[in-house]
Structure 1
């Protein structure tokens, strides 16, 4: 099993586990020990994405109480920071895996790191899951179902393409044809020293 097959299985395991209760307040029960580092990180990453997916649904309720909406916005902000942190942890794992590879002359850097590609892969798993739900609805019009099936087909094609691209990137890193750097996101708006609004509140 290659890396993307493993990741896709773990992402879908996380999504299915979440939907047992379908509750944003449910506590993560990561089945992978921290010693199984990459599996543990992939499951946790997707769980964060899955909860945030549903928070984004809830906050779009046009009748939501403004106080509740503000609480959700704060939660989504926190989730975005956690998502970024998880990407950086996963990239650190890749750096450790391939940090000793002999870089070939003329090797190039990729436009995005492996973990940011995997971030898109995790979101894609959620899109496939929920579009499949829509395509399988029995209470929707034939037109709605047909449209969703068409979109699902595109998402499944994207799954194949993104899987291939990630695998090729990993192979290039292993062979030294490409090399990676990790640029910390350095988000400023959560930092009370860098966000002038927060700084002025101190």
Structure 2
């Protein structure tokens, strides 16, 4: 099951990242370069770093220049994240290239990789909510509220994992087909962002 594999890789990437918990640490990917696991690990590593960038930029005492610095890093990270999702979709497009969709096959609202992207973010939410449940300096009321949220996140992961596996099964059986649109983000492209090309 792809969801089981994804969740396992995401948990490893999160654990590896938090050994040093440093946004700028080098990603030492343990998986073979041509494997799906390799792509999933990089994807979640990017999400880890961006999660912590988002924390930093929300510091109410941050100086304007520093906030702008982190905002631009977050924008660059978002582009990397999007690129990785498209690489993962390319993996599935290649995997299913010989599947002949049935005449009544339907297209899904999102591609497999964008659903897996949500699973990666969910893994981070679960990790950090678990941290809040175990926080020694937090009161019982805080811990109980976080425990309730954690239970919801765990249920959400179960449901999303099942949906991803069902989508991939439908594609394998020709009941659904993949059609991937590149994101074509305009604000990062100097030829498409009017603030940049009008300079």
TM-score clears 0.5:
yes
For residue 73 of structure 1, report the CA deviation from its aligned partner: 0.4
SS, match of residue 32 in structure 2: coil
SS, match of residue 198 in structure 2: helix
SS, match of residue 184 in structure 2: coil
Matches within 5 A, 1:40-119: 40-119=38-117
Matched length: 199
In structure 2, the residue matched to 1:24 is 23
In structure 1, the residue matched to 2:148 is 150
Q: Distance in 2 between matches of 1:65 and 1:85?
A: 30
Q: Distance in 2 between matches of 1:193 and 1:25?
A: 30
Listed one character per residue, the Cα deviations across residues 126-181 of structure 1 (whole Å, up to 9, x for unaligned) are: 00000000011121111000000000000000011001000000000000000011
Q: CA RMSD in A?
A: 0.7
Any gaps of 5 or more consecutive residues in structure 1? none
For residue 200 of structure 1, report the CA deviation from its aligned partner: 2.1
Listed one character per residue, the Cα deviations across residues 77-117 of structure 1 (whole Å, up to 9, x for unaligned) are: 00000000001010011000111101112100000000000
In structure 1, the residue matched to 2:14 is 15
Q: Distance in 2 between matches of 1:16 and 1:68?
A: 28
Q: Distance in 2 between matches of 1:170 and 1:120?
A: 15
SS, match of residue 33 in structure 1: coil
Kindly report structure 1 stretches of 4+ aligned residues shifted beyond 6 Å.
none
Any gaps of 5 or more consecutive residues in structure 2? none
Q: Distance in 2 between matches of 1:190 and 1:128?
A: 31
